[in-house]
Amino acid sequence: MNSFKRIVFGLMSFVIVTGLCITTATLASDTADAEQSKRTSLEIPVQDIQRFSTVIAQIKRYYIETPTDKELFNNAIRGMLLSLDPHSAFLDEDDLKDLQTVTTGEFGGIGIEIIPENGYIKVISPLDDTPAFKAGMKAGDLIVRINDKIIRKMTVRDAINMIRGKRGTFVDLTVLRKGEKKPLHFNVMRDVVKVASVKNKMLEPGYGYARIVFFQAPAADDLKNAILKLQQEAKGQLKGLIIDLRNNPGGLLDSAIHISDLFLDAPKLKYDGLIVYTKGRIPGSDIRAKATPGDMIAGVPMVVLINGGSASASEIVAGALQDYKRAIVMGTRSFGKGSVQTIIPIDRSSGIKLTTALYYTPAGRSIQATGIVPDITVNELKVNKEQEDKLLDDVDEKDLSGHLGNPKIKESDKTSKESTNTKESTNPLEDQTAVPTNPLVYEDYQLFEALNMLKGIHVERGDSEAKIIVSKPSTVATKK
């Protein structure tokens, strides 16, 4: 949490300093008009305050029940923030506690990242090895009932309270899923959710795999230790590394920066060595994070796996490694959550989560509502012994109600850009002369293709100094 607080309080301190500067700036005639305009934009019209007070008075006088002043004001604040975008929100005391426990890696529930959507609750991603993950819930699932109660227009807090409960008890969830004609029903047992930030294994001699589940505070150190173990197991001869960011909903910005920096050697980088930068309405929301010297694995080929459940911090890492051609990004287009939320305290027990800026990759690409387009698109297939393929459904930030648009890309350009920059390559499942023998093809087709990519790079490189060259994005053809 310390790194997270530094970012948040850094932004808040700027706001305070700006407020003090406005008073002194009026002494300078050349800036007086500009400062007057700033003050005017921050003023609240008296007429609107009166209308608001009138509504509260009428509710207290005529409503069938007697709501407290705190309930009325808290609900009013919630409504204001929810109307801005899907990620801005009012945080009461319980919400603030939740935020702290999630980023430290242990919390109660069933293990899903959720967001309000059209009056219902949408699953951004189920976290690995959690009750929701084991029950078969997927990114993009729309929860419409909790314990047979319709949740239309229910707040996220109310939904969370209903989903939570004592360890060992069950919650019934009714879910709508793209491609399914009927609602799905899940009876999920609640548990204490402990999220290990990084998992690792050796796929084949020399080819390592590390999955980042969530960008918690210790994630960078955990990944570093995982890679050291892989290097030790490979006896110092690591030939390739796969970083799996699929269904990773994000987390702390600092964690994403430190993880990207593990593989980026600052003296060799263009784009001024940037890992990520942000732009907001006020200068204090602008952050520029740069790489430091040194690459932990000294140019060993890398593949980064992403999908529609990869959001926020995951997209920062994938975008940075893609821009510098340090890794080949494979999978499907990411979620597209490229906005920055700042936690601003209101009092001792509440605060607001407010969207204050947008993320940009080193090359200046905005992630918001467009996501990261992989260099090589490999659809998420479920392959059985008879080679019957099933495509999974995509989940996008751009599908969320009230999402922020991407300021750099016109709506009409999105489909043309993706269609013109792709080409097809052979799918071994369609080539009857190429019979896959690796059981990984049936367990995880995308991971199977990533491993094949690393093997191909190793063959083509010839020596350890050769560089990875990624030209135009291509599409791995899939059986439909």
Helix (H, G, I), strand (E, B) or coil at 381: strand
pLDDT at 284: 83
Nearest one of 347, 341, 322 to 333, comparing CA atoms: 322
Q: What pLDDT score was predicted for residue 477?
A: 34
Residue carrying structure tokens 């939904």: 159
**In sequence order, which residues have a C-beta less than 8 Å from that of residue 432 and are 6 or more positions away?**
none
User: Mean pLDDT, the chain, as a whole number?
Assistant: 80
Residues with Cβ within 8 Å of 267's Cβ and at least 6 positions away in sequence, in order, are: 293
∠ CA(362), CA(366), CA(369), 5° rounding? 150
Beta strands 328-331; 302-306: pairing state: parallel
Give the count of beta carbons closer than 10 Å to the beta carbon of residue 264: 24
Structure tokens at 2: 């310390």
Identify the pLDDT of residue 96: 85
**Closest C-alpha among 387, 333, 332 to residue 365:** 333
DSSP state of 406: P
pTM of the model: 0.72
Q: What is the pLDDT of residue 465?
A: 41
Planar angle of CA 480, 141, 370, nearest 5 degrees = 70
Structure tokens at 76: 């009013």
Given CA atoms 186, 192, 195, 201 in this order, what sign does their dihedral have?
negative
- 277-327 residue pLDDT tens: 999 988 788 999 999 999 999 999 999 999 999 999 999 999 999 999 999
Q: What is the rounded distance in angstroms from the CA atom of residue 194 to the CA atom of residue 93?
A: 22
In this prediction, the residues of the chain whose per-residue pLDDT falls under 50 are 1-31, 387-395, 412, 414-426, 428-435, 463-480
Give pLDDT, residue 193.
Answer: 82
The per-residue pLDDT for 215 is 93
Buried b (16+ CB within 10 A) or exposed e, 379-395: bbbebeeeeebeebebb
- Residue pair 367/336 in contact (Cβ under 8 Å)? The answer is yes
- Written as one letter, the residue type at 207 is Y
Identify the pLDDT of residue 255: 96
Contact between 242 and 303 under an 8 Å Cβ cutoff? The reply is yes
CATH of domain 106-194: 2.30.42.10
On whether the CB atoms of residues 424 and 475 are closer than 8 A, the answer is yes
- Cα 384 to Cα 236, 381, 430, 441, 443: the distances in Å are 36, 10, 13, 9, 9
Cα distance between residue 119 and residue 150, in whole Å: 10
Q: What whole-number distance in Å separates Cα of residue 331 and Cα of residue 312?
A: 16
* CA separation for the pair 344, 427 (Å, rounded): 50
Tokens for 66, please give them.
Answer: 């007697």
In the chain, where the domains are located:
2-85, 106-194, 198-253+296-335+364-476
Pairing of strands 274-280, 351-360: antiparallel
List, by residue number, the catalytic residues: 312, 323, 337
Q: Tokens 């932004």 map to which residue?
A: 11
Query: Please, are residues 393 and 140 in contact by the beta-carbon 8 Å criterion?
Result: yes
Q: Does domain 198-253+296-335+364-476 have CATH number 1.10.1400?
A: no
